[in-house]
Amino acid sequence: MYNIASNQLEIVDAPYNKRGKLDTGTHCNYRCGFCYYFNKLDQVTELDVIKQRIDYLAACGMTEADLSGGESSIHKNWFEILDYCVEKGLGVSCLSNGSRFSDIEFLRKSKEHGLTEILFSLHGYDDESHNKIVGVKAGWRKILQAIQNANELGIKVRINCTVTRDNYAEVDGKFVDVLRQFKIDQLNFLTLNYWDDASSQVALDYKLSTDHIKTAIDKIDFIPDIRVRYTPFCYMKGYEKHVYGYYQHIYDLTDWNIAVYDQRIRPEEYVGNELKQLYESAKRQRNATYKKNKECLNCKYYFVCDGYEKNFEHLNVYPEAGDKICQVLS
């Protein structure tokens, strides 16, 4: 295994992410098979802890809090969390399974308390497929209603689709047809990783997932921004502009700031050294999860590509010849 170094990268002075991920706890009302926290879904984080996390994001100069669980919207102090974010000068977005937002009055009240954007977890393409993936019977009906409600109320909609054995064959078919009925600002495809409690039972070879993802991209002309996260560049030839790994993440203004994610960096260390800290965080997190093999050394994307999941053994790679790219945004 080869170390995925970053010392050849040129730090690019460009707008970087100031949206901090606000962890509201792992408590969730769904049971997605690929969830990182599958064995922690009953754990509730108290409001005072969440407020401390909000204080930290504000001290680090974040301009927005991206609420994530678990399912943040089921927290007993949901509206107080929104209010405190606003009080601290933070815009508010969230990641959601859509269950609570299927009630338009609940969503309307959430908007009144500061919520402006939702990243919906939409993984299936019909009632049976989606409900199987998320582990509840009403998941499909509720998320479609929630997205419709968000469109009606003028709340920005983004979509996450985790591509697994359960849905890959239709991400370029029935899944695309579902998306057509909504106004969607961004679509993220995530090829499955093995972090934490994510189940290897639904993991899928990169080639199977990316073959369908590329076909889906060709069909989707109604969503302005499509991204494929944490996927080797060599599996996305011809579609490299859609790939977002750890270093691309630094400049991804729609996702979350990786340097302040786990709050290990003190605000006084981060402020004034943001890009340096972001690059160091990307390197640390990338090396913890991904690897490259000998063939990767010959690829022009060697420095800007994450590589592939350490749990994927004997993976074929397809190096792209050419001079090494040393700028993340190239």
> Where residue 35 sits, what CATH number does that domain have?
3.20.20.70
Whether the predicted pLDDT of 43 surpasses 60? yes
The total number of structural domains that make up the chain: 1
Residue 118 resides in a domain: yes
Whether the predicted pLDDT of 33 surpasses 90? no
Residue 202 resides in a domain: yes
Which of 128-132, 153-157, 198-202 has the lowest average pLDDT? 198-202
Residue 8 resides in a domain: no
Can you give the pLDDT at residue 274? 97
Residue 49 resides in a domain: yes
Residue 291 resides in a domain: no
Residue 256 resides in a domain: no
Can you give the pLDDT at residue 26? 87
- Domain of residue 83 covers 19-224
- Helix %, strand %, coil % of the chain (to 5): 40, 15, 45
Q: For 6-31, write each residue's pLDDT tens digit.
A: 567 889 999 999 999 999 998 888 88
Can you give the pLDDT at residue 198? 47
Residue 232 resides in a domain: no
C-alpha distances (whole Å) from 51 to each of 10, 18, 43, 174 are 36, 18, 17, 41
| Residues in CB range of 269: below 8 A, 6 or more apart | 277
How high does pLDDT run on average in the chain?
92
Q: For 65-122, write each residue's pLDDT tens digit.
A: 999 988 999 999 999 999 999 999 999 999 999 999 999 999 999 999 999 999 999 9
CA 258 to CA 270: how far, in whole Å? 12
Q: For 210-243, write each residue's pLDDT tens digit.
A: 999 999 999 999 999 999 998 999 999 999 999 9
Listing from the earlier edge strand, what are the strands of the sheet with 156-163?
Answer: 19-23, 64-68, 91-96, 115-121, 156-163, 186-191, 226-229, 243-244
| Residues in CB range of 99: below 8 A, 6 or more apart | 29, 30, 71, 73, 74, 136, 138, 139, 142, 143, 146
Can you give the pLDDT at residue 203? 64
CA 49 to CA 264: how far, in whole Å? 15
Residue 30 resides in a domain: yes
